[in-house]
């Protein structure tokens, strides 16, 4: 009896599928982390655009932040969703916006022109890295 064997046995197929599932189990958490970092990077880039728009408004208003002017400049010059500006007592400007369904806050200092980006509630600073 000289039978030629064609194809794979059921055991061989189960082993290969099991190996593939094990590798997928390792990769899925990595992809979720990459996705979170990509969303944060997008929000930081939006924050940089907001800072440019706010500083443009700052120079147009003789070196002062005016919340209404900043809000309109941000709406006109950026693609930030739901941006709203408010002025703090210490002269800092706070702009809240939404990116990919997550709430972010950018705090701009008028004296140095620097900014920080915070994510969520409670606030977690994502830029610059603490």
DSSP for 27-82, please give it. HHHHHHHHHHHHHHHHHHHHHHHHHHHHHHHHHHTTS---HHHHHHHHHHH---EE
Quote the crossing angle between the two packed helices 10-60 and 67-77, to the nearest 10°: 130
Residues 6+ apart with CB under 8 A from 39: 99, 100, 102
Taking a C-beta distance cutoff of 8 angstroms, is the pair 77, 56 a contact?
Answer: yes
pLDDT tens profile 53-93? 888 888 888 888 889 998 888 888 888 889 999 998 888 89
Average predicted confidence (pLDDT) for the chain: 88
Pick the more confident residue, 1 or 17: 17
Taking a C-beta distance cutoff of 8 angstroms, is the pair 116, 107 a contact?
Answer: yes
- Domain boundaries, given as residue ranges, for the chain: 10-127
pLDDT tens profile 4-17? 677 889 999 999 99
| 6/116 Cα distance (integer angstroms) | 64
The whole-number pLDDT of residue 3 equals: 66
The band of 122, judged by pLDDT with boundaries at 50, 70 and 90, is: confident
């Amino acid at each position: 009896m000289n039978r030629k064997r064609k194809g794979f046995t059921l055991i061989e197929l189960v082993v290969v599928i099991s190996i593939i599932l094990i590798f997928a189990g390792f990769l899925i958490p990595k992809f979720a982390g990459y996705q979170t970092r990509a969303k944060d990077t997008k929000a930081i880039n939006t924050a940089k655009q907001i800072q440019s728009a706010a500083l443009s408004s700052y120079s147009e208003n003789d070196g002062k932040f005016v919340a209404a002017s900043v809000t309109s400049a941000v709406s006109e010059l950026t693609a930030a969703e739901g941006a709203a500006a408010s002025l703090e007592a210490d002269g800092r400007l706070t702009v809240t916006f939404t990116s990919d369904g997550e709430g972010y806050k950018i705090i701009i200092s008028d004296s140095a022109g620097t900014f920080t980006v915070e994510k969520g509630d409670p606030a977690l600073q994502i830029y610059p890295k603490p």
